[in-house]
Amino acid sequence: MYITINTKSRIEIVDITNEVEGIVKNSGIEDGIALVYTRHTTTALIINEAESGLLDDILNIIQKIVPQESYKHNRIDNNADAHLRATLLGNSVVIPVANKRLELGTWQRVLFVELDGPRTRKVLVKVV
């Protein structure tokens, strides 16, 4: 099953926990794991707290760690920073499933990270 996300900024974090929970609930699988996977090369997935100040902090630190510079890939489509940021964050998360629910900690949320928006993105959720 896919979740469609319409991002609004070049770099942005979208909380997709409720959408992932919905897919898990409808999957019929009581106990297992949910793989949340992005097939894009300029997006990422992380699990963390969705507090608005922290989300800003995450975006700020990503931009500090990988600043916009003259990378080799920029001669292709001028978005090397987005690819590099994506490789550091990773393109999937795996979450345990119990009683048809995600076994997340109290403050944990599934966060989609857009790094070269705004675009329409698709995230794959596979429950096994």
Q: Site residues (CB under 5 A) for Zn ion?
A: 77, 79
Nearer to Zn ion, 73 or 94 (CB): 73
Residue 72 CB, shortest distance to Zn ion, in Å, is 11
Nearer to Zn ion, 6 or 74 (CB): 74
Q: For residues 9 and 121, is the Cβ–Cβ distance under 8 A? A: no
CA angle at 33 for the pair 108 and 37, rounded to the nearest 5°:
75
Nearer to Zn ion, 7 or 17 (CB): 7
CA angle at 104 for the pair 28 and 32, rounded to the nearest 5°:
35
Residue 77 CB, shortest distance to Zn ion, in Å, is 4
DSSP helix/strand/coil, 1: coil
In the numeric block, the tokens 């990422």 are attached to 44
Residue 6 CB, shortest distance to Zn ion, in Å, is 20
